[in-house]
Structure 1
Amino acid sequence: MKKKVHSIASMLATMTIATFFLSTIFVELFGTHEAVAYVKNLIVIPGLFILVPAIAAAGGSGQALSKSRQGKLVDAKKKRMPFIAANGLLILIPCAIVLDGWASEGKFDEMFYLVQSIELLAGATNLTLMSLNIRDGLKLNGKLRTSNARVS
């Protein structure tokens, strides 16, 4: 049961961040300021109410699963998680809330785009780290073949 919860929560969190990331890029490239404001609002509500529990469930279930596992892949996943969590709590969530407020006020100035650039960089970083964790999880479960890595 823990494996299923972990798998679903991990994929949901990763897909949610990917959706936020791609939506931001597409609306900035092709949308109006009103569309940007709408997307920023959706990222905060309901987006964060989907993302935060998914990340918490992924982290908690991963922690529970890792108690019975050892090895390089488990260690690598454990090392990434604090950075993913800190990046989300200290950068991504505050940026999303601030950008939503500014966009709803029509404040699309240099500061908006600076904060959005930070948000996109942090989002890309978390997507990369979460994807690496998913890859290593698939290796641990034998669902992804490894060439040189030893699964423990």
Structure 2
Amino acid sequence: MRTPLRLLHAITGFVGLVIILRFLGHTAYAELYGDAASILAVKSWIVWRLPVLIVALAVAGATGFALAGPSPRGLAARKLARMRVIAVNGILVLVPAAIFLFWKAEAGEFDATFAALQTIEFIAGGVNIVLIGMSFRDGLRLTGRLRRCPDAPARRS
């Protein structure tokens, strides 16, 4: 049975993943095909949606901690370890980068610093997408909605 807490965890995790995918997708499109005005529009769009992403991931993390219980093991422990990395990556790299890149775009400064930080943002965002995806997979396994392939070797937790 799906409890309200599990449902909230799944929904907020999914919302967070979709927002990150949209951020990276729009950024890549603007960088590859857009001009300075379109890059600025995307950077502004991202900055104004950051609070929604932060709330979604914070709720996903908090509900994940609550669902894991006092001494998580196995898949739950791995999900929590990933969530810590996702949070640190977001707080220390992605949010400051998004704000700084918006400021640079607003000033029309598409220089080497902008390009370097944009590259770092792509890498950090990609890492978070992979980690959130792995957590989704493990969440589906924890609930029995996804089973390990019978031919796959067993992993130690």
TM score, norm. by length of structure 1: 0.94
- Summarize the alignment of residues 60-99 of structure 1 with structure 2, pairs less than 5 Å apart: 60-67=62-69, 70-99=72-101
Please list every run of 5 or more consecutive structure 1 residues that lacks an aligned counterpart in the other structure.
none
Identify the residue that residue 9 of structure 2 maps to in structure 1.
6
Counterparts of residues 1-152 of structure 1 (less than 5 Å): 1-45=4-48, 47-67=49-69, 70-147=72-149, 148=152
Letter in 1 for 2:58: A
Instruction: Give the C-alpha shift of residue 69 in structure 1.
Output: 7.8
Tell me the amino acid that sits aligned with residue 25 of structure 1.
A
Q: Secondary structure at the match of 1:90?
A: helix
Report deviation, 1:70.
4.3
The runs of at least 4 consecutive aligned structure 1 residues that moved more than 3 Å come to: 68-71
Using the size of structure 2 for normalisation, the TM-score is: 0.91
1:114-152 deviations in Å (ceiling 9; x for gaps): 0000111000000000100001001111111213568xx
Instruction: Give % identity.
Output: 38
Q: Root-mean-square deviation (CA), in Å?
A: 1.7
Residue 143 of structure 1 aligns to a residue in which SS? coil
Q: Secondary structure at the match of 1:122?
A: helix
TM-fit CA distance, 1:72: 1.4
